[in-house]
Amino acid sequence: MEVIAEYGFILLVVGCVCGFFMAWGIGANDVANAMGTSVGARALTLAQAILVACIFEFAGAYLAGGEVTSTIRKGIIDTAAITDTPQLLVYGMIAALLAAGIWLLIASYFGWPVSTTHSIVGAIVGFAAVGIGVDVVQWGKVASIVASWVVSPVMAGTISFLLFTSVKKLILQTSDPFMSAKRYVPFYMFLAGFVVAMVTFLKGLKHVGLTFTGTEAIAWSLVFALIIALVGTLALQRIDNTTQEKNGAMFDGVERVFAVLMVFTACAMAFAHGSNDVANAIGPLAAIVSVVNSGGEIASKSILPAWVLLIGATGIVIGLAMLGYRVMMTIGRSITELTPSRGFAAELAAAGTVVIASGTGLPISTTHTLVGAVLGVGLARGIGAINLGVVGKIILSWIVTLPIGAGLSILFFFALKGFFG
């Protein structure tokens, strides 16, 4: 308690800086989940993707990022053991934010799409297990998070494989692909509208006091999907079957139809992503703010001041603008060659996986989900369409994320403990 009273303001400032750094890392690495496929398929230029993502990620993070959030990320730590030493929680959360932020900076520089959730979870587990005690870690939670390494990419890959296979059979491999596209794409629009609306209702709006039951979310999503399908059908009438240049690639009428679809799904996924993943930065920061402002009391929940959300939202946008292009290029162009129809299948599969996971409580990583979806599209064209060397590097970066986050966090935790006492 004495440490909090004496150094509370300094710890709060350091926590805010580290929280901003972590949010910067989320922007630099994780935003490729929403925009990488659109860039790779050339539905958007890199500059357009950054602009769109900045607007919708910021809106999602700030407007729907969480009025009330758990102070301990995903309930990983049992705080009963440290009620008398709240400074250990503050040291640990600062260390975790700094450790995860550094790993995300390294991964983003090399273009590796890693999980921001796994980065912060590994960091929190590290300082808690070594600095406080193995018993304070909720190992069941950790095991379910590790399981998502397999669940996320397999589920998304399977869905994207089936989706793109249906696109090939119903549209691309018919005698008149353009007329087939006009006939079947409204159904894909309906499906995309439904899935994206479900993502927004289930993940994007739950933090602003707009909570929906499963039945309500389905009902509203069906309404939105129907409207989108009708508007899309009218828009399709204006697209002719000529080959035109778009963002450095030549697209026929069919691919131009899917390019329009991709922009819509990218915007909505960016909003839902910003609202959900900003918690990886502001969750630990909320713990620090709560403990310092209460003079050392550890609460299970805390009301977030608007300025904390602003730190997270601003960090995401700046990180995206500065370094996000590297991971976007890996997701969009290095794993397999994407066209708008392939990119749409991958993006919709990723969104569908998020919806299924939200409804069933499955632990997933949005990064692993998107990579799995892109792989699924590649496999639908044959194993030769996939750059196995790039995939190998990505999987290796996933494996080392938890131990690297944990190791760095332990170092920073003991450094802070030694410095402040």
SS (H, E, C) 168-179: HHHHHCCCCHHH
Segment 352-369 shows an average pLDDT of 76
Tokens describing residue 221: 């999503």
User: What is the enclosing helix (H) or strand (E) of 266?
Assistant: helix 253-277
Please report which confidence band the pLDDT of residue 62 belongs to, taking 50, 70 and 90 as the band edges.
Answer: confident
Say which DSSP state 201 is in: I
Burial of 213 (0-12, 13-18, 19+ CB in 10 A): exposed
Most confident of 54-58, 210-214, 245-249: 54-58
Burial of 148 (0-12, 13-18, 19+ CB in 10 A): buried
pLDDT over threshold 60, residue 319: yes
Most confident of 17-31, 242-256, 262-276, 351-365: 17-31
Q: What is the CA radius of gyration of the chain?
A: 22
Segment 323-331 shows an average pLDDT of 90
Range scoring the smallest mean pLDDT among 99-113, 145-159, 319-333, 336-350: 145-159
Percentage of the chain modeled with pLDDT above 90: 35
Please report which confidence band the pLDDT of residue 417 belongs to, taking 50, 70 and 90 as the band edges.
Answer: very high
Q: What is the pLDDT of residue 94?
A: 96
**Beta-carbon contacts of residue 228 (< 8 Å; ≥ 6 apart):** 189, 190, 192, 193, 264
pLDDT digits (tens, 9 = 90+) for 161-184: 999 999 999 998 999 998 898 889
Please report which confidence band the pLDDT of residue 302 belongs to, taking 50, 70 and 90 as the band edges.
Answer: low
Query: How far from the centroid of its chain's Cα atoms is residue 335's Cα?
Result: 18
Handedness of CA 204, 206, 209, 215 (dihedral sign): positive
pLDDT digits (tens, 9 = 90+) for 12-47: 999 999 999 999 999 999 877 778 888 888 888 888
* Cα(193)–Cα(165) distance, integer angstroms: 20
Segment 240-245 shows an average pLDDT of 83
CA atoms within 13 A on the CB side of 153: 19
pLDDT over threshold 70, residue 70: no
Averaged pLDDT of the chain: 85
Please report which confidence band the pLDDT of residue 322 belongs to, taking 50, 70 and 90 as the band edges.
Answer: very high
Is 90 within 8 Å of 127 (Cβ atoms)? no
Model pTM score:
0.86
Place of tokens 């009963």: 80
Q: What is the pLDDT of residue 206?
A: 62
pLDDT over threshold 60, residue 258: yes
pLDDT over threshold 60, residue 71: no
